[in-house]
Amino acid sequence: MSHSLTIHDATTLGETRPVFALEFLTERITVRELIRRRVYQDVKDYNAAQSEMFHGLVKPIDAEQTLNGYKLKKSRRIDWEVQADKAIEAFERNGFILLIDDQQAEELDADLVIRPGMSVTFLKLMPLVGG
């Protein structure tokens, strides 16, 4: 039996990205596992499509941030483990906030028990322009 989490992406500027679901084999995971699984799915989707835009949690090497994601200078395969490591580092330095049912996750090794209807929001913190 798989356990599903509904994932939302948002920014502090009010931008949102369409909702998607992540499936897990167990009902108990850690925040670290959630982040790594999310990044794995982002990279898997990108590598399958091979478009010039990457719509992931963190910026790949040699990419430029745009309004709609990250534009790669040259279309290529992305290594999900490199991206996952970057995402873990971003979480640790508050590059994004992880909200689980509107409660902020603060520890990478904190346990989560997936419940029906549970919602997760990856809130990217955007710097203020001119501030």
Range with lowest mean pLDDT among 40-44, 67-71, 103-107: 67-71
Residue 110 lies in a domain: yes
pTM of the full predicted structure?
0.90
pLDDT in the model for residue 18: 73
According to the model, what pLDDT value does residue 80 have? 97
Handedness of CA 59, 43, 96, 15 (dihedral sign): positive
Confidence of residue 6 (pLDDT cuts 50, 70, 90): very high
Q: Is 131 domain-assigned?
A: no
pLDDT of residue 73: 87
Q: Are 22 and 37 in contact, with CB atoms under 8 Å apart?
A: yes
Question: If phi over 0 gives left and psi between -120 and 50 gives alpha, with beta otherwise, what is residue 57?
Answer: alpha
Q: What is the CATH number of the domain that holds 120?
A: 2.170.130
The mean pLDDT of 53-78, rounded to a whole number, is 88
Mean pLDDT rounded to a whole number for the chain: 90
| 99 within some domain | yes
pLDDT of res. 105: 97
Q: 82: domain range?
A: 3-124
Q: Is the dihedral of CA 78, 43, 126, 97 positive or negative?
A: negative
Alpha-carbon torsion (49, 55, 61, 67), positive or negative? positive
Residue bearing the bigger pLDDT, 98 or 102: 98
Structural domain count of the chain = 1
Is residue 130 one of the residues assigned to a domain? no
For residue 73, is it within any domain?
yes
